[in-house]
Structure 1
Amino acid sequence: MSVQDNFKRAKEQYEKWGVSIEEAFEQLKRVPISIHCWQGDDIGGFEVNQQELSGGIDVTGNYPGKATTPEQLRSDLEKALSLIPGKHKINLHAIYAETEGEVVDRDQLEPKHFENWVKWAKENDLGLDFNPTLFSHPKAEDGLTLTNPDKEIRDFWIKHCIQSRKIGEYFGKELGQQALTNIWIPDGYKDIPSDRLTPRKRLKDSLDEIFAADVDESLNVDAVESKLFGIGSEAYVVGSHEFYMGYALKNNKLCLLDTGHYHPTEVVSNKISAMLLFSDQLALHVSRPVRWDSDHVVILDDELREIGLEIVRNDALDKVMIGLDFFDASINRVAAWTIGTRNMIKSLLYALLLPNTHLKQLQEEGNFTDRLALLEEFKTYPFGAIWDYYCEQMEVPAQEKWLDEVKSYEKEVLSQR
């Protein structure tokens, strides 16, 4: 049977529950996913004085075809975007600046160093998000940046974050889409600290100074990202979830939740509704931790489906800014982007196809039998047929056909590098 025939039969099954497929498609089209550029080059960046990875970050694998220039990285992103339904954003780190061979330290970065990215984003109808890079730098060798006891080092990173916010503002102005500038730091200690409070006071003061700089919030929105632990900061991370949740709420900033930055049995999906009760917006970095914060490619597992459900059934598609954050150098990097982003979109479509109002009512009535039965039965409804049709409507390959295009691109482009 054709994709259209399968869609027609599947549509009838969902519509008997009052689910409008057309409305689901229209909602989904309006949701941009912020696709992280660093999957394409193993978080290398393009600094003239490129440094080894640090800050507890590691990328494993040596699959051929890694992007080594801005042009290659943008080409690879274009290929991935051609296989992903919808219009999206690209998330940049500061190390992806283009300085034309000039050594420009991070506290001196300016919008002009990202003009090529903006030009490319305009040509491809994309938005851009941004992140200051507070790792892989001589002034971050001891793992302390915004919390460093050395004021000179703190000031360097404060200036870098201020400049990053101005770059985000530039993105928003040029592209007509509000940019998200997210601050994550690796700061912490390997062993049990004798003083947890003082570093957190320094972090609070540093953030206060960063956010005191005047930036148009209609063009750039600020977020802060927590972490539980890292390599070299196993015992204590200054920017914990509790710290950033309190700081964000008190200072009207977004709290960014990374799915790999919590205890192994702690899930971000369970936090979304609680956070949205007290925040107008929320940001996510969706990854897949395997035993630890290992940033595997996102798959359509139970937690990803639950994240999609929490966003959709709480009418939060316009409140949750969804970004991705994974890096796997053991497989084709374009395929990694494609798999992960398509799965994030699939989780939202899956949620849009559930009779969420009816399921909520069953819970209110205490009818837990019907609720559980229906939630389980919908897992084997013909969701795939709806997804395939959506892909065709959005003019991207359905099913595994996209993999043939990646293989051709690998043969013609990646293997020649």
Structure 2
Amino acid sequence: MSFQIPRGTQDILPGEVEKWQYVEKTAREICDTYLYKEIRTPIFEHTELFARGVGESTDIVQKEMYTFLDRKGRSITLRPEGTASTVRSFVEKKLYANPAQPTKLYYIGPMFRYERPQSGRFRQFVQFGVEALGSNDPAIDAEVISLAMSLYQKLGLQSLKLVINSLGDAESRKAHREALIAHFEPRIGEFCSDCQSRLRQNPLRILDCKKDRDHELMATAPSILHYLNEESKAYFEKVQQYLEANNIPFEVDQNLVRGLDYYNHTAFEIMSNAEGFGAITTLCGGGRYNGLAQEIGGPETPGIGFALSIERLLAALEAENITLPIETTIDCYVVTMGDAAKDRAVSLVYELRNAGLKVEKDYEDKKMKAQFKAADRHHAKYVAVLGDDELEKNVVALKNMETGSQEDVAIDQLISYLHQNI
């Protein structure tokens, strides 16, 4: 019987996994400069957390979650995103009590959604996300957006577009909600069943519908920007001011929504305009969610964050033909001739590796010529040849693979020689 990988998942093999490691390393380094600390939460949580934390009316909760009953009949869900778990931990572990606020966190890990697999979209995917909890300052909104842009730019992406919008405060949202209901209700029967159920539950989600996005009422739907009160307008203007101060170009898109009830003020997406990237251009999405901590049992706490798919990021790099500077060389390959040399090479390689050097040797009893070919495949900087003559003299014949020069180096001096010359 043969087995195949489940649909919507992928094996990331050597040769590709190094790209993932480089991207994740870059993300961690940027978070370190912004003083965001890593948090690791369980891959599964109680289902109710996501129902509350993501939203009952969302496609994620209604259609895409991997949910099952455990042996005691409790409903458990594989995490479909990282914000709800992060905020749950923030509340449960009372991070809000720390004197240093805001609490700035990031995560990198697998998420799970049962959706139709397509280019750059998988049922198991890796998400990098950032959450800043505890500040109502629009400067933290600009910081979170700047962090996301910094990651893409540091990796070399150029065909980027940042779009932002304001969803206003609770008062503004309420006025906009009533306007949306009045706008769509007379002809709601022309919309899909999802939109019909959302009319009263969360009409903002209608604007995010993929099925009915070309309906004429979508183009004429009332804009949230027309319902912002003075406080919300001032907040949004400050966010824009800070982005401009950071020389981060952006566009205001009044149709950009984050459909959860507790989202407010800033919403944003980063998109790729690279040719050939595909019809789905969004790389990253985020927004302010001041009501989320309360929704899951915590104190009133403002928050803002974003999440991005590592798969989508790598696809954008490929679309722009960007080659990551991944090191593919090794420091030294040990070539042996004779049984005594093979035996000595085992401990020699161990010593070199313990000294922090990247070293390999033959494990297949290859001839000397084949061992040199293996060294070439590993892009070895040096080859250390060890045979009976070298053992007798307690040296290796060390060849520089770039210049072709060769010299005898004492075995007990090999580590220091390589460190000095690599």
* TM score, norm. by length of structure 1: 0.25
Tell me which protein shows more strand as a share of its residues: 2
Tell me which protein shows more helix as a share of its residues: 1
Q: Tell which has more relative contact order, 1 or 2 (C-alpha 8 A, sep 6+).
A: 1
* TM score, norm. by length of structure 2: 0.24
